[in-house]
Amino acid sequence: MNTQVVIIGAGPAGLLLGQLLHNHGVDAVVLERKSADYVLGRIRAGVLEHGTRTVLNAAGVGTRMEAEGLAHEGIELAFDGQIHRIDFEDLIGREVMVYGQTEVTRDLMDAREAAGAVTVYEAEEVTLHDIDGDRPHVSYVKDGVTHEIACDFIAGCDGFHGVSRRTVQDRVQTFERVYPFGWLGVLVEKPPVWPELIYAGHPRGFALCSQRSPTRSRYYVQCDGTDDVAEWSDDRFWDELRRRIPPEAAEVLQTGPSIEKSIAPLRSFVAEPMRFGRLFLAGDAAHIVPPTGAKGLNLAVSDVVYLSDGLKEYYVERSSAGIDAYSARALQRVWKAERFSWAMTQMLHAFPGADPFDRRIQRAEFETLRGSRAAAQALSENYTGLDF
Rounded to an integer, what distance in angstroms lies between the CA atom of residue 100 and that of residue 292? Answer: 16
Rounded to an integer, what distance in angstroms lies between the CA atom of residue 245 and that of residue 226? Answer: 23
Rounded to an integer, what distance in angstroms lies between the CA atom of residue 32 and that of residue 109? Answer: 12
Selecting among 72, 137, 202, 312, the annotated active-site residue is 72
Selecting among 99, 140, 179, 199, the annotated active-site residue is 199
Binding site for ligand PHB (CB under 6 A): 45-47, 197, 210, 218, 291-292, 294
With respect to ligand PHB, which residue has the nearer C-beta, 208 or 323? 208
Q: Verify binding: residue 13, ligand APR, rule CB under 6 A.
A: yes
With respect to ligand APR, which residue has the nearer C-beta, 34 or 242? 34
Q: Verify binding: residue 39, ligand APR, rule CB under 6 A.
A: yes
Selected from 6, 18, 32, 56, the binder of ligand APR by CB under 6 A is 32
With respect to ligand PHB, which residue has the nearer C-beta, 5 or 223? 223
Rounded to an integer, what distance in angstroms lies between the CA atom of residue 120 and that of residue 10? Answer: 9
Selecting among 291, 312, 314, 315, the annotated active-site residue is 291
23 exposure class (CB count in 10 Å sphere: 0-12, 13-18, 19+): middle
Identify residues 287-326 at the interface with ligand APR (CB under 6 A). 296-297, 300
Provide, rounded to whole angstroms, the least separation between the CB of residue 86 and ligand PHB.
13
Let me know if 38 is a catalytic residue.
no
The DSSP call for residue 2 is B
Provide, rounded to whole angstroms, the least separation between the CB of residue 79 and ligand APR.
25
Provide, rounded to whole angstroms, the least separation between the CB of residue 367 and ligand APR.
31
Rounded to an integer, what distance in angstroms lies between the CA atom of residue 286 and that of residue 158? Answer: 9
Q: Verify binding: residue 157, ligand APR, rule CB under 6 A.
A: yes
Rounded to an integer, what distance in angstroms lies between the CA atom of residue 170 and that of residue 64? Answer: 42
Q: How many CB atoms sit inside 10 A of residue 209's CB?
A: 24
Let me know if 383 is a catalytic residue.
yes
Say whether 49 sits in a helix, a strand or coil: coil
Provide, rounded to whole angstroms, the least separation between the CB of residue 70 and ligand PHB.
10
Provide, rounded to whole angstroms, the least separation between the CB of residue 307 and ligand PHB.
25
Maximal CA-CA distance, the chain:
63
Provide, rounded to whole angstroms, the least separation between the CB of residue 382 and ligand PHB.
12
Residue 348 sits at the vertex; the CA angle it makes with 93 and 86, to the nearest 5 degrees, is 20
Rounded to an integer, what distance in angstroms lies between the CA atom of residue 262 and that of residue 264? Answer: 7
- SS3 sequence of 177-203: EEEEEEEEEEEECCCCCCCCEEEEECC
Q: Verify binding: residue 33, ligand APR, rule CB under 6 A.
A: yes
Let me know if 203 is a catalytic residue.
no
Q: Name which of ligand APR, ligand PHB, none residue 349 binds, using a CB cut-off of 5 to 8 Å depending on partner kind.
A: none
Active site residues: 72, 199, 291, 295, 383
Which stretches of the chain bind ligand APR, using CB under 6 A? Answer: 8-14, 31-34, 39, 44-45, 101, 123, 126, 157-159, 162-163, 283-284, 296-297, 300
